[in-house]
Structure 1
Amino acid sequence: MARAEQPLKCPSAQPGMGDVQILGVISRDADEPRLAYLDEALPATPPVLELAAPLDVSQVFRLSARCEERKCTHFDGVDCQLAVRIAKMLPEVVDQLPACNIRRDCRWFRQEGRAACLRCPQILTGNHEADEVLREVAGVPRLSR
């Protein structure tokens, strides 16, 4: 299969998706959690995912997987709207492209370019502590007051 025909990868995947790998580990050393990218892809096998226990996998790891396109609520048939919202609504958190092991096949990078990458380290899949802006970016309905 030629490089151009490789399926794009979702950089914010869930364990049950296809071809799941560990993109990075969530670092909580700074004021805000950030993704520490792995140098090389690591298959998200059950024994690796179990290392997150007793925490939820998404509190320890960020996963990448084959983009599920039409199966995903963020995909509009052409683009990932999550990537659009990330690039438009979130501040940059790094000033250079992170060392990412999926960039050449990443849907967010292919679609939104550098703008997505400069915001990517702040994305936590399944972030239950997300503020209002992150909830809106994720497409989560606003909390009623």
Structure 2
Amino acid sequence: MLGVTTGAGRLAYLPMPVFVDSAFEARLEASGRPESRYRFTGPCVEGECAQWTGARCGVIDHVLDDPPGPERAGAAGTALPGPFLPSCGIRADCRWFAQRGAAACAACPSIVTDVGGSATYRSTRP
């Protein structure tokens, strides 16, 4: 788990990612859809993911390159709150950061990963 979604719909990062095992996942699911309240992370599975474009992750490219619609207002073009990148426990392994650098970090807290189902994310689990 990378962070918690705030009431304003932005990500509040945990100091370090929390490993989610099946018991912890069951506790989270007991309170409803965890994807609507938490941001999860895992290794990029590249071609095994529906968002993979053949050479890169299409999610961050879409967020940064396409004009925001009303459902994503504020995600694209988000500026960092200062000259430094926010603290992040996954940056060294982050696909989005590897592709787009600081711009990905600026947009990340505004990206909602709960789009009505978790089948995509669960299908990549071992």
Shorter-chain TM-score category?
0.7 to 0.9
- 1:47 is aligned to 2:23: yes
- Mark the runs of 5 or more structure 2 residues left unpaired by the alignment: 67-75, 117-126
- Give yes or no for contact 2:79–2:103 (8 Å, CA) kept in 1: no
Deviations 1:49-88 (A, max 9, x none): 2235322010121000011100111112211111111222
1:48 Cα deviation after fit: 2.4
Which residue does the alignment assign to 1:71?
A: 48
CA distance in 1: counterparts of 2:79 and 2:37, whole angstroms: 19
Letter in 2 for 1:36: A
Under a length normalisation based on structure 1, what TM-score does the superposition of the two structures give? 0.65
Match for 2:111: what amino acid?
I
Aligned: 1:95 with 2:72: no
Could you tell me whether the CA contact under 8 Å between 1:93 and 1:122 is conserved in 2? no
Runs of 4+ displaced beyond 3 Å = none
Contact 1:23 1:63 in 2 (8 A): yes
Unmatched tracts of structure 1, length 5 or more: 1-21, 129-145
Q: As a proportion of its length, which structure holds more strand?
A: 1
Residue aligned with 1:125, SS: coil
Looking at structure 2, the residues matched to 87 and 121 of structure 1 have their Cα atoms a distance apart, in angstroms, of 13
Percent identity between the aligned chains? 34
Q: 1:106-117 counterparts in 2 under 5 A?
A: 106-117=94-105
Q: How far does residue 107 in structure 1 lie from its aligned partner after superposition?
A: 0.3
Counterpart residue type for residue 77 of structure 2: P
Query: Given the alignment, which residue of 54, 59, 82 partners 2:59?
Result: 82
2:2 maps to 23
| Aligned positions, number | 104
